[in-house]
Structure 1
Amino acid sequence: MNTPLIEQPIKTKTDKRQAILDTALALFVSQGFHGTSTASIAKQAGVATGTLFHHFPSKEALMECLFLTIKQEFANALLLNAHQGSKLKHNVKQLWQSALDWSLENPIKQLFFQQYSMSPMIAKNVRDQAMNSILGFISELIKQGQMMGLIAHYPVELMLENCHGQYLAATRFFIDNPHLGHNSQYRNASFELFWKAMQAD
């Protein structure tokens, strides 16, 4: 009696591309950008080096795609949990808490943000795309708050960078102190610090 052959699943182009991104994320976080070669990414992802370059012409292009993909995922998570109540501070607090939740649920991706969000390895135009296009709804929220007299009237681009820096500082604290990640006192305090930096006098 012949034993039937077990067919192995064939990786599609989408599967291979995602495998490359997932592997690059893990290696960039654990070994750093310069310490990670395209050959090591391809090998660990189970694809040929030529396949990697078919999807991404360079390591820099791979890094930029990874950065924008994760930023979009982050933005989608925030929008999914966004509330449009009548009180702006409450709406902003909901977004802040959702952002903290995302960071706790995606620690490797958050570590990637910590390492590369401010890095010169991410081109300025790519950072601008992430802040102004993908996270454009935050700019609109800032403008709304300024019109209502609740948020300080500083240039919106500068306010966005301040928001980003505050978020990175808070999530860095919770990464370093994971036992406090769901502590309401610390989470609320992190929001109040953020809000005080944004609010009008």
Structure 2
Amino acid sequence: MNKRDRILDAAAELIVENGLQCSMAAIAVRAGVATGSLYNYFPSKKALVLGVYVRVGEEMAKAMMVEHQNSVDFGTRVRRYIADYIDFILEGPERARLFEYLDNSPELSRADIAATFAGFLDYTRALFEGAQKAGVVREGQSYLLASFVRGAIRHAIKRRRLDPRPISRAEVEQIADMCWQAVALRA
């Protein structure tokens, strides 16, 4: 793993463990690099926090932005979006907590957040608007529907992880079904 990735990993771990007050020196120690070397990659704490956020955003886009064949109906596409987000959050045990810290970081401006997720949000908006036009998802602001789904998933999984037992497939399916039922158009 290269130094930049080690630094980002260490920063993500320490943000989850200690919040955003973790020091650059502690991050350097965790990453196994000199503090001066850390500043060669990230000139400020804001740049480092943004780097963590950008990397998580890239990972999320890679995991969730699926090109569907035209023959795949929008109900299936939205269910896949829900399932992929659940898998994305489950993949990293502390990912839900990291999102909360980063979303509430005074280091990140709304412009930083919007720029980081612009492509993903455009994809999501098109998906939910297409599902609305197809008559499978309720009316409303597409970004609110998608944000509700992602927030519900993060929160449910974060709370469920308080129980030391592994999350069962039945629980994952229940979370997915609850999210689908929340956005599905009722006939």
SS class of match (1:150): coil
Q: Is the 8 A contact 2:64 2:85 kept in 1?
A: yes
Identify the residue that residue 15 of structure 1 maps to in structure 2.
2
Identify the residue that residue 93 of structure 2 maps to in structure 1.
107
- The one-letter amino acid of 1:152's match is R
Identify the residue that residue 63 of structure 1 maps to in structure 2.
49
TM-score, scaled relative to structure 1: 0.79
Q: Is the 8 A contact 1:77 1:98 kept in 2?
A: yes
Q: What is the CA–CA distance in structure 2 between the aligned matches of 1:171 and 1:131, rounded to whole Å?
A: 22
Identify the residue that residue 196 of structure 1 maps to in structure 2.
181
TM-score, scaled relative to structure 2: 0.84
Q: How does 1:101-140 map to 2 (within 5 A)?
A: 101-140=87-126
Q: How does 1:64-79 map to 2 (within 5 A)?
A: 64-79=50-65
Q: What is the CA–CA distance in structure 2 between the aligned matches of 1:194 and 1:17, rounded to whole Å?
A: 36
Q: How does 1:1-201 map to 2 (within 5 A)?
A: 15-34=2-21, 36-79=22-65, 84=69, 86-177=72-163, 179=165, 181-184=167-170, 186-201=171-186
- The one-letter amino acid of 1:108's match is E
160-169 vs 36-45, which moves further: 160-169
Q: What is the CA–CA distance in structure 2 between the aligned matches of 1:21 and 1:83, rounded to whole Å?
A: 32
Q: Which has the larger radius of gyration?
A: 1
Q: Structure 2: where are the runs of 5+ without partners?
A: none
- The one-letter amino acid of 2:19's match is G
Percent of aligned pairs sharing the same letter: 26
Q: What is the CA–CA distance in structure 1 between the aligned matches of 2:149 and 2:111, rounded to whole Å?
A: 19
Q: Is the 8 A contact 2:82 2:149 kept in 1?
A: no
Alignment deviations for residues 72-113 of structure 1 (CA, whole Å, 9 cap, x no partner):
112212236x65453322222222222222222211333312
Alignment deviations for residues 119-159 of structure 1 (CA, whole Å, 9 cap, x no partner):
44432112223443234322111010111122222123333
Q: What is the CA–CA distance in structure 2 between the aligned matches of 1:90 and 1:162, rounded to whole Å?
A: 18
Q: What is the CA–CA distance in structure 2 between the aligned matches of 1:88 and 1:178, rounded to whole Å?
A: 36
Aligned CA distance change for structure 1 residues 108 and 166 (closer, same or farther; 3 Å)? closer
150-159 vs 53-62, which moves further: 150-159
Aligned CA distance change for structure 1 residues 130 and 156 (closer, same or farther; 3 Å)? farther
- For the aligned residue pairs, the C-alpha RMSD in angstroms reads 2.4
Q: Structure 1: where are the runs of 5+ without partners?
A: 1-13
114-123 vs 166-175, which moves further: 114-123
Q: What is the CA–CA distance in structure 1 between the aligned matches of 2:108 and 2:65, rounded to whole Å?
A: 24
